[in-house]
Amino acid sequence: MKKLLALIIAIFFLAGCSGVQITNEDIQALAIKDTAMILGYKLAQSNPDLAKAAGPYAASMLAAAQAGKLEISVWNEAISLLTKQVNSDPLVSVLIADAISLIKINDSTVSVPVKLAYATPALTGFIAGLSLVK
């Protein structure tokens, strides 16, 4: 009976360890997505006209990112322009600065493909944030 119980416990242990595990990349992607959602929301609140223009632009950037054709200069310029629009809120400014440290890309950076991988969650979150304000 003890062997059967030990076998059952071992099976549950192994099944639990082989399940889905959260990686550091998953956590960073979620943080970036959530921060971008706040950015989109704050932009839509403070400047609805700009938010209306930013939505289709972000959607086209998302399509380019998903196709692997997002240009670094376009990405960095978009980040720069949008952060200037919501910099009056100190909490949002800190969140954005932290997320930008993960996603802003310098041309000399070796990890450009890795950082561009975060463009999809960032743009997805941003678009979702824009849609929260009616």
Look at residue 83 in the predicted model and tell me its pLDDT.
72
Q: To the nearest 10°, the Cα dihedral for 82, 83, 89, 90?
A: 170
Kindly tell me if the per-residue pLDDT of 131 is higher than 80: yes
Q: Which of 31-35, 64-68, 80-84, 99-103 has the lowest mean pLDDT?
A: 99-103
pLDDT tens-digit map of 69-120: 888 778 778 877 777 776 677 777 777 777 677 666 655 544 455 567 788 8
The per-residue pLDDT of the chain, averaged, comes to 76
Look at residue 127 in the predicted model and tell me its pLDDT.
94
Q: What stretch of H or E contains 131?
A: helix 119-132
Look at residue 111 in the predicted model and tell me its pLDDT.
45
Distance CA 86, CA 37 (A): 12
**Taking the complete model, does pTM exceed 0.75, yes or no?**
no
Distance CA 49, CA 60 (A): 18
- Which amino acid does the sequence have at 4? L
